[in-house]
A and B are shown apart, each in its own frame.
Chain A
Amino acid sequence: MPLLPLATGAIIALVAATFAFPWLEFVLTLAIAKGLAALGVAILLRGGLISIGHAMFFAIGAYATAFAMRDFGITDVFALILISAIISLVAGLLIGAFVVRYRAIFFAMLNLAISMVLFSLLSKFYGVTGGTDGLRVGTPTVLGMVLEAKGFATFLFYAAIAAMVLAGLAVNAYFKSPLGEALSAVHTNEIRLEYLGIPVRGVLLVAYGLSALLAGIGGTFAAMTIGHVLPDMAYWTDSGHLVLVAVLGGISGIGGPFVGAAFLELVHTLAAGVTDAWNMIVGAALLGVIFFLPKGLIGFIRPTKKGDLA
């Protein structure tokens, strides 16, 4: 099935769903925010690296928004997104310069360790971060306009869709570029890459920075959607959740992480109203995907191509 009409149809369906069920606006905005972060995780998975710490960049983006509003009086939504993106990118490059030296379990555990350090800092520095109570995020302005909460939520939903489309196009172009193909090549043969004159760590650092940038943008959207930031955003289980979203949706293309995030948020929302054991439903869904859809949920609609990663 051609991808462009499919993506366009999916976006129209998203918008139509919010007209039919207005409560979906919040759920889907949050799903896109987490989908952006999961897309970042999927980028690293393409290079054979699993990060169990990427929620830290989600939290960095969220707290950057909260700090910018509280401490610097910046309220414009576009300025907040830009600031959070830059801070997440810089954090990603700094942490990435250290962690891309490692592979496999060491890479995963280092990311986890650094994210837990951030979690502790956010929890303990009460005077700065609000501790475990977190920080409130007010309703930002839009190009100088003050919107009521409902109007801003609607604006944010469409802004999240725009961010998803832009991120999708950018990451798609990256995957098709020499740098993106080199990232896939890291997965199978680092020695050959080095013998082609390609610095493997440089390739991985770009991927890590990009993944942190996406997670940070996801974080700022989440902060503005929820109106509150908490240290739990950096907790390791949230990082595991991002990996789960990426694998559940599928990492062979751009749409997978967003499909996975929407699926999980919807299951969470709908199942939580019925049972406390909603995690069981999510677990069963994951088992189903692992056994029957090795390409993830996106495998339902996207044909497998040569060179696709599972």
Chain B
Amino acid sequence: MTVLLEAKNLHITFGAVKAANGVDLHIDEGEFLAIIGPNGSGKTTFLNLCTGYIRPSEGEVYLDGKPITRLPPRTIARKGIARAFQIPQLFLDQTVLTNLMLAIASREGLWQVGKALGRPAYRDEAMALLAMFNLADCAPTLASTLPEGRRKLVDIAIALALKPRLVLLDEPTSGVSALERFALMETLMGALRQAKVSALFVEHDMDVVERYADRVVVWEAGRVMAEGKPEAVFKDARVIENVIGVA
């Protein structure tokens, strides 16, 4: 397996809290890696570090073996790392369709003078993505008026619209009803497999992790406590005691 993203000895501290305390982690091409751990253990901070939103006080992040630690989020996004957020990040004053078309247009750069965003090619691709997540009926809706669960799906669709090589998903099933949870993951993972996109997802639902992750990393207090196949990790007594009981 080829290593796609690798973090080496990452450190960052917020006041007295060590959100990353010597983190070493990698994700291979085509792999679905899940991160689990208690709230406040540094999982989202790790995603922020990988995408250039914050910079570590020590350590490096590599993409294809090249350091990306000091690059801003937009440059890292252009290198093929997309992100969906725990709290959906949408353009609230614009329609769902425009949200998607803007993401699609950004792949080619925005400096296309005289060409409308609503051109058929962008519209068709956006509608296909929305249809995949059963959101086609939301296309003309203002993003601000969507219920939380649907905002979450739009946020994920925006990340996929970038056609990334790696997508970072921060609690993709939070805010989604229990009935829709597995349907969402089936759709999402199916689309990722088809497009050969790797995924790193932070998740609290152990059933989701067990079913969809190739490998699990257990986080505690800014460190990797355990990692391995889900079936093995979930039998680890320390994980059961410290994480699964409270995850």
| Bitwise interface map of B from 101 to 121 toward A, beta carbon under 8 Å scored 1, else 0 | 111011100111111111000
Task: Assess whether A194 is in contact with B77, with CB atoms less than 8 Å apart.
Answer: yes
Q: Which of B11-19, B85-93, B123-131 contacts A (4 or more CB under 8 A)?
A: B85-93
Q: With A and B bound together, what is the CA distance between A293 and B7 in angstroms?
A: 55
A70 within 8 A of B: no
Which residues on A sit within 8 Å (CB–CB) of B142?
A: 306-307
Which residues on B sit within 8 Å (CB–CB) of A178?
A: 101-102, 105-106, 110, 112, 115, 117
Q: With A and B bound together, what is the CA distance between A307 and B140 in angstroms?
A: 10
Q: Which residue of B lies closest to A309 (CB)?
A: B93
Q: With A and B bound together, what is the CA distance between A191 and B47 in angstroms?
A: 14
A197 within 8 A of B: yes
Task: Assess whether B117 is in contact with A181, with CB atoms less than 8 Å apart.
Answer: yes
Task: Assess whether A195 is in contact with B114, with CB atoms less than 8 Å apart.
Answer: no
Q: With A and B bound together, what is the CA distance between A188 and B114 in angstroms?
A: 24
Which residues on A sit within 8 Å (CB–CB) of B162?
A: 196-197
Task: Assess whether A189 is in contact with B77, with CB atoms less than 8 Å apart.
Answer: no
Task: Assess whether A198 is in contact with B98, with CB atoms less than 8 Å apart.
Answer: no
A248 within 8 A of B: no
Which residues on A sit within 8 Å (CB–CB) of B82?
A: 195
Which residues on B sit within 8 Å (CB–CB) of A101?
A: none
Q: With A and B bound together, what is the CA distance between A197 and B103 in angstroms?
A: 9
Task: Assess whether B94 is in contact with A195, with CB atoms less than 8 Å apart.
Answer: no
Q: With A and B bound together, what is the CA distance between A192 and B53 in angstroms?
A: 11
Task: Assess whether A184 is in contact with B93, with CB atoms less than 8 Å apart.
Answer: yes
Using known A-B contacts A178-B112, A192-B89, A307-B142, determine if residue A198 contacts B95 with beta carbons closer than 8 Å.
no
Using known A-B contacts A194-B73, A196-B158, determine if residue A185 contacts B91 with beta carbons closer than 8 Å.
yes
Task: Assess whether A307 is in contact with B93, with CB atoms less than 8 Å apart.
Answer: yes
Task: Assess whether A181 is in contact with B94, with CB atoms less than 8 Å apart.
Answer: yes
Smallest Cβ distance from B232 to chain A, in angstroms? 34
Q: Which residue of A lies closest to B145 (CB)?
A: A306
Task: Assess whether B78 is in contact with A189, with CB atoms less than 8 Å apart.
Answer: no
Task: Assess whether A203 is in contact with B110, with CB atoms less than 8 Å apart.
Answer: yes
Task: Assess whether B118 is in contact with A176, with CB atoms less than 8 Å apart.
Answer: yes
B228 within 8 A of A: no
Smallest Cβ distance from A47 to chain B, in angstroms? 11
Task: Assess whether A179 is in contact with B91, with CB atoms less than 8 Å apart.
Answer: no
Task: Assess whether A195 is in contact with B51, with CB atoms less than 8 Å apart.
Answer: yes
Task: Assess whether B118 is in contact with A195, with CB atoms less than 8 Å apart.
Answer: no
| Bitwise interface map of A from 180 to 218 toward B, beta carbon under 8 Å scored 1, else 0 | 111011011101101111110001000000000000000
A13 within 8 A of B: no
Which residues on B sit within 8 Å (CB–CB) of A184?
A: 91, 93-94
Q: With A and B bound together, what is the CA distance between A176 and B101 in angstroms?
A: 12
Identify B102's interface contact among A173, A196, A199, CB under 8 A: A196
Which residues on B sit within 8 Å (CB–CB) of A187?
A: 93
Q: With A and B bound together, what is the CA distance between A197 and B73 in angstroms?
A: 7
Q: Which residue of A lies closest to B113 (CB)?
A: A177
Task: Assess whether A189 is in contact with B91, with CB atoms less than 8 Å apart.
Answer: yes
Which residues on A sit within 8 Å (CB–CB) of B89?
A: 189, 191-192, 195
Smallest Cβ distance from B108 to chain A, in angstroms? 8
Looking at B74, B77, B101, the one whose CB has the most chain A CB atoms below 10 A away is B74
Which residues on B sit within 8 Å (CB–CB) of A179?
A: 110-113
Q: With A and B bound together, what is the CA distance between A182 and B74 in angstroms?
A: 14
Q: With A and B bound together, what is the CA distance between A307 and B142 in angstroms?
A: 7
Task: Assess whether A196 is in contact with B106, with CB atoms less than 8 Å apart.
Answer: yes
Task: Assess whether A197 is in contact with B102, with CB atoms less than 8 Å apart.
Answer: no
Q: With A and B bound together, what is the CA distance between A189 and B88 in angstroms?
A: 11
Which residues on A sit within 8 Å (CB–CB) of B116?
A: 173, 176-177
Q: Which residue of A lies closest to B106 (CB)?
A: A196
Task: Assess whether B74 is in contact with A199, with CB atoms less than 8 Å apart.
Answer: yes
Which residues on B sit within 8 Å (CB–CB) of A177?
A: 110, 112-117
Which residues on B sit within 8 Å (CB–CB) of A306?
A: 95, 140, 142
Using known A-B contacts A306-B142, A307-B142, determine if residue A181 contacts B93 with beta carbons closer than 8 Å.
no
Smallest Cβ distance from B50 to chain A, in angstroms? 12
Which residues on A sit within 8 Å (CB–CB) of B115?
A: 177-178
Which residues on B sit within 8 Å (CB–CB) of A198?
A: 74, 106, 110
Smallest Cβ distance from B118 to chain A, in angstroms? 7
Which residues on B sit within 8 Å (CB–CB) of A188?
A: 90-94
Which residues on A sit within 8 Å (CB–CB) of B110?
A: 177-179, 182, 198, 203
Smallest Cβ distance from A254 to chain B, in angstroms? 15
Interface residues of A in 255-310 (CB under 8 A from B): 306-307, 309
B residues apposed to A, CB below 8 Å: 51, 53, 72-75, 77-78, 82-83, 89-95, 98, 101-103, 105-107, 110-118, 140, 142, 158, 162
- Listed by A's residue number, 6 A-B pairs whose Cβ atoms lie within 8 Å are A178-B101, A178-B117, A195-B77, A196-B162, A197-B75, A306-B142
Q: A178-B117, A198-B106 are in contact. List 6 more A-B contacts (CB 8 A).
A: A178-B102, A178-B105, A179-B110, A185-B94, A197-B77, A197-B107
